């Protein structure tokens, strides 16, 4: 598994933009227009905002910057500027109605396809290997995950369906593996479409640690609930304890107890909580408390990345746990092929050299770490992608979920969110230091 992305960078750019648009189209046509303009949660934008924001970012970066073309709709830039208008405010803006948003986004794309044919793929950091096209394909896919989160928050009948992951034989391997201590290379200076916060590659010394072979399952998490985990302050940080008390949080988001069993709502359907599946929709505080209850802790971001990329045989950091090949369906549950995580222990072909599974795909994994720049970081191509978020208020998540496309998921990819967030497709795995 060593061949990286097939095709030329230009072909890859076209493929990635097209795949993103296919997904966007599905997510914005599977419900009627009133569901596109409604606000399903104050945490989220109306879907029609995401749609036109996708088009507007593409206009700004690919038509104006890469193509050198004149602005198509400069007057809407500020409506779709995420920093000017917080999400809760977006429904009250004079947004483009659904048909107009569709026409605008399609018009931008059709012009971008002409730009892409002749654009330079060399010379500047923005154009090298088609970086800016890759950045915009990733941006659209990130919003496709955001829109899927909105679909999950939405009340009402099912609008999206997908086949379940292939049934996997029950996992019988060890519950944790030892990652040897020593240096490893974290981050990247060579991955062409890596975003600014993943750069540059740098050496980190990581002491030996044990890490869970699979993400924590619903069944394991239930044992924490049933042991009174949510009513015992010993397991919680003071902030976490205050938060769950204040909001009366007693189980993952979307869960409800019905007599003797636990049910959950998933994309408009209520079903029994599957014990073998990685737990989903827990906040950082819950992940952290579970780990303490289990006598363990969350892995640091460096530990997570070492588990995912370090090849003990060569000492090299690989692009993915399985090697350097782009993710294929047998490696990982990515790209909204399924609308749920696969059972813990699935995807043996995606395991790391030490046998750690499902690091990529299924659920974003909370880490212990704050979102901070790597040594030598420079904001590129705009400060508002990462730099303005650095600091202790955001925790890092790694590995991607079933909802993220391969183009926006790598061994080096960094996501971040507030420690109270539960609507995201996040779970976790735990770790412990070798000497504990």
Residue 434 annotated as binding?
Answer: no
Residue 53 annotated as binding?
Answer: yes
Q: Considering CB under 6 A, how many residues would be counted as binding ligand AVJ?
A: 7
Residue 89 annotated as binding?
Answer: yes
CA distance 230 to 236: 9
CA distance 17 to 141: 9
If the CB atoms of residues 80 and 285 are measured against ligand AVJ, the closer one turns out to be: 80
Task: Determine if 395 is a binding residue for ligand AVJ (CB under 6 A).
Answer: no
If the CB atoms of residues 121 and 385 are measured against ligand AVJ, the closer one turns out to be: 385
| Strands 202-206 and 182-186, sheet pairing | antiparallel
Asked if 22 and 29 count as a contact pair (C-beta separation under 8 A), the reply is: no
If the CB atoms of residues 61 and 209 are measured against ligand AVJ, the closer one turns out to be: 61
Task: Determine if 416 is a binding residue for ligand AVJ (CB under 6 A).
Answer: yes
Shortest CB 222 distance to ligand AVJ, Å = 29
User: Which segment (60-68, 135-143, 217-225, 321-329) binds ligand AVJ by CB under 6 A?
Assistant: 135-143
Residue 125 annotated as binding?
Answer: no
Quote the distance between the C-alpha of residue 95 and its chain's center: 27
DSSP string for 183-208? EEEES-SS-TT--GGG-S-EEEEE--
How is residue 283 written in tokens?
Answer: 């906040």
User: Which segment (142-150, 164-172, 234-242, 289-297) binds ligand AVJ by CB under 6 A?
Assistant: 142-150
3-class DSSP state of 265: strand
Count CB-CB contacts under 10 A for residue 212. 27
Among 415, 421, 422, 431, binds ligand AVJ (CB under 6 A): 415
Asked if 351 and 341 count as a contact pair (C-beta separation under 8 A), the reply is: no
3-class DSSP state of 36: helix
User: Which segment (138-146, 181-189, 253-261, 426-434) binds ligand AVJ by CB under 6 A?
Assistant: 138-146
If the CB atoms of residues 56 and 415 are measured against ligand AVJ, the closer one turns out to be: 415
User: Which segment (105-113, 140-148, 272-280, 333-341) binds ligand AVJ by CB under 6 A?
Assistant: 140-148
Shortest CB 76 distance to ligand AVJ, Å = 16
If the CB atoms of residues 142 and 346 are measured against ligand AVJ, the closer one turns out to be: 142
Asked if 149 and 328 count as a contact pair (C-beta separation under 8 A), the reply is: no
Residue 88 annotated as binding?
Answer: yes
Site for ligand AVJ in 331-350 (CB under 6 A): none
How is residue 87 written in tokens?
Answer: 């999400």
- Per-residue buried b or exposed e for 98-136, using 16+ beta carbons within 10 Å of the residue's own CB: beebbebbeebbebbeeebeebebeeeebbebbbbbbbb
N residues, the chain? 436
Shortest CB 142 distance to ligand AVJ, Å = 4
User: Which segment (107-115, 137-145, 178-186, 302-310) binds ligand AVJ by CB under 6 A?
Assistant: 137-145
161 phi and psi angles, rounded to 5 deg: -135, 155
If the CB atoms of residues 241 and 389 are measured against ligand AVJ, the closer one turns out to be: 389
CA distance 125 to 199: 13
CA distance 385 to 132: 13
Residue 139 annotated as binding?
Answer: yes
Query: Which residue number is nearest to ligand AVJ in terms of Cβ?
Result: 142
Count CB-CB contacts under 10 A for residue 10. 16
Residue 398 is given by DSSP the state E
Among 16, 142, 214, 358, binds ligand AVJ (CB under 6 A): 142
If the CB atoms of residues 318 and 408 are measured against ligand AVJ, the closer one turns out to be: 408
Among 39, 146, 423, 430, binds ligand AVJ (CB under 6 A): 146
Among 139, 281, 309, 331, binds ligand AVJ (CB under 6 A): 139
CA distance 218 to 276: 6
Answer whether the bond into residue 360 is a cis peptide, omega within 30°: no
Shortest CB 283 distance to ligand AVJ, Å = 15
List, as residue ranges, the binding site for gamma-L-glutamyl-L-cysteine.
Answer: 87-90, 417, 421
List, as residue ranges, the binding site.
Answer: 53, 87-90, 139, 143, 417, 421
List, as residue ranges, the binding site for Fe cation.
Answer: 53, 139, 143
- Residues forming the site for ligand AVJ (CB under 6 A): 139, 142-143, 146, 385, 415-416
């Amino acid at each position: 598994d060593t061949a990286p992305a097939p095709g030329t960078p230009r072909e890859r750019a076209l493929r990635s933009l097209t795949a993103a648009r296919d997904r966007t189209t599905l997510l914005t046509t599977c419900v009627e227009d009133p569901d596109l303009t409604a606000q399903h949660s104050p945490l989220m934008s109306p879907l029609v905002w995401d749609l036109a924001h996708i088009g507007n970012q593409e206009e700004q970066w690919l038509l104006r910057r890469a193509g050198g073309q004149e602005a198509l709709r400069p007057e809407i830039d500020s409506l779709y500027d995420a920093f000017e208008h917080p999400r809760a405010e977006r429904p009250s803006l004079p947004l483009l109605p659904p048909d107009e948003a569709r026409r605008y986004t399609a018009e931008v794309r059709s012009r971008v396809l002409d730009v892409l044919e002749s654009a330079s793929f060399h010379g500047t950091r923005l154009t090298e290997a088609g970086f800016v096209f890759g950045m915009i394909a990733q941006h659209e896919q990130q919003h496709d995950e955001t829109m899927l989160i909105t679909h999950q928050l939405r009340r009402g009948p099912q609008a999206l369906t997908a086949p379940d992951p292939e049934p996997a034989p029950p996992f019988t391997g060890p519950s944790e593996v030892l990652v040897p201590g020593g240096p490893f290379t974290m981050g990247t200076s060579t991955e062409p479409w890596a975003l600014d916060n993943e750069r540059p590659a740098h050496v980190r010394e990581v002491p030996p640690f044990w890490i869970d072979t699979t993400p924590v399952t619903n069944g394991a998490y239930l044992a924490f609930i049933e042991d009174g985990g949510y009513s015992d302050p010993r397991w919680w940080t003071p902030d976490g304890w205050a938060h769950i008390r204040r909001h009366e949080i007693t189980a993952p988001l979307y869960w409800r107890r019905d007599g003797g069993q636990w049910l959950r709502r998933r994309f408009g359907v209520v079903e029994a909580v599957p014990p073998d599946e990685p737990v989903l929709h827990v906040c950082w505080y819950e992940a952290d408390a579970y780990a303490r209850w289990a006598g363990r802790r969350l892995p640091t971001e460096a530990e997570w990345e070492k588990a995912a990329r370090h090849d003990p045989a060569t000492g090299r950091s690989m692009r993915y746990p399985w090697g350097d090949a782009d993710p294929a369906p047998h490696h990982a549950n990515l790209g909204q092929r399924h609308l749920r995580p696969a059972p813990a222990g699935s995807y043996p072909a995606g395991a790391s050299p030490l046998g750690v599974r499902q690091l990529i795909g299924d659920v974003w994994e909370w880490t212990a770490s704050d979102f901070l720049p790597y040594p030598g970081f420079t904001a590129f191509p705009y400060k508002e992608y990462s730099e303005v978020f650095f600091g202790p208020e955001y925790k890092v998540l790694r590995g991607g979920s079933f909802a993220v496309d391969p183009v926006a998921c790598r061994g080096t990819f960094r996501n971040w969110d507030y420690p109270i967030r539960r609507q995201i497709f996040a779970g976790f795995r735990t770790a412990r230091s070798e000497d504990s």
